[in-house]
Structure 1
């Protein structure tokens, strides 16, 4: 009886040890660069959000333009507010009347939450990661992530974006290249970060010459 008890105990210890080793191995999951950049900007907090409000502003030379958005992230209802109109629609049923407004929302939301689109859109683009690059505005050594969207679907198919960031994976500069052109269409900084219930938002984007500013105000979040 003692012999069997000893063998059973030994087998139990072996089983627990194997189970523990297996658990330790499965816990080590290397994140992709897309996930690292998204998480650095608070993507893991996104599911806590119920509603998001922000105003999109553009200053070009002496002109100013702005429009505001309220987005119910659970129902996908969007309210657009400009100097002339207030329009509410649902992104689940965009029609010919709301398509122009939705195109504006997609543009403004992309500037606002581009790091999250690295996860949301990952099946729609190819990407390349370079660990040693030079940021185009500051001429500072940084990492570079290039994504190129597919040629079909969306409002601007085939476009490319170059994200520049440091070891903290927070974006510092980016380049937009329409239709994956060689030359930049737009090139700005990412700065003045705000922590809004865990979401890290770059409120200010400036070009190299200083005559263009795109920025966000009236940022409000509603969480559970």
Structure 2
């Protein structure tokens, strides 16, 4: 009788153990992050919800010309203040109208340059993507991984556009290519460099082309946390 009791207990233990192993496997599968999430998190995305307000100045130097505009963005209410040499305009992104649409288009552009790694998570339902583990970055010619995203043909200010992100094993972006309308040839190609930590957000302040004739960079970056 004791022998059968022992065998019953052993079988029960094995069944429970197998179920536990399968449960752990499922939990591991659930915990596995996508490449989109890995890139976003490598740039501090997990700290985003701590942010209440973000200020930054968007600058472009092209040959001998300079252009800049500044933004104050309340990330909780979506109130935006645009400050340029010509004017100051405040609006809410939940109620963009004909008067604020052009300004909002500028904000989306500048914010995308600043926070593109986060848009990989925010916009994931609006684009398709493909990852290549072995690629050559176009500016440095260094071996890197490559992520290509292609936005859908409807919605947004620039539908159908494509971006190629180049990054290392740490998932931090080093270079990217913008292809308007998903054309084979690059529309813009720049570095991602001069990273700084802004309350946990990892932000690239400098983007420039291969010969340095075009520089897009950020100054006066300030974050207000809750």
Q: Would you call these one fold, judging by a TM-score over 0.5? A: yes
State the distance in 1 between where 2:58 and 2:191 align: 16
Are 1:146 and 2:159 an aligned pair? no
Aligned to 1:30: 32
How big is the shift at 1:86?
A: 0.8
* In the alignment, structure 1 residue 212 sits paired with structure 2 residue 217: no
Partner residue in 2 for 1:3: none
Q: How far apart, in 2, do the equivalents of 1:48 and 1:219 lie?
A: 16
> What is the alpha-carbon distance in structure 2 between the residues aligned to residue 111 and residue 152 of structure 1?
21
Q: What are the Cα deviations for residues 176-213 of structure 1, in whole angstroms up to 9, with x where unaligned?
A: 00000111000000000011111100000010121110
Cα displacement (A) at 1:45: 0.9
Structure 1: where are the runs of 5+ without partners?
1-5
2:116 matched to which residue of 1? Answer: 114
Query: Per-residue deviation at 1:162?
Result: 0.3
Q: How does 1:1-224 map to 2 (within 5 A)?
A: 17=17, 20-21=20-21, 23-28=23-28, 29-224=31-226
Name whichever of 16-25 and 140-149 sits farther off.
16-25
Q: CA deviation at 1:26?
A: 3.7
Q: Report the alpha carbon displacement of residue 128 of structure 1 after superposing the two structures with TM.
A: 0.8
Structure 2 residues without counterparts, runs of 5 or longer: 1-5
> In angstroms, what is the RMSD of aligned CA positions?
2.1
Deviations 1:121-146 (A, max 9, x none): 11111111000000000000000100
Aligned residue for 2:216, secondary structure, equals strand
The alpha-carbon distance between structure 1 residues 19 and 98, as it changes in their structure 2 partners (threshold 3 A), is: same
Q: Structure 1: which 4+ aligned runs deviate by more than 6 Å?
A: 9-16
Residue deviations 1:100-140 (CA, integer Å, cap 9, x gap): 00000000000000011111111111111000000000000
SS of 1:161's partner is strand
Partner Cα separation in structure 2 for residue 16 and residue 221 of structure 1: 50
SS in 1 for 2:48: helix
TM-score, length-scaled by structure 1: 0.92
- Using the TM superposition, give the Cα deviation of residue 21 of structure 1 relative to its aligned residue in structure 2, in angstroms: 3.6
1:59-88 CA-to-partner distances (Å, cap 9, x unmatched) read: 111111100001000000000000111100
The SS at the match of 1:123 is helix
Aligned length: 222
SS in 2 for 1:84: coil
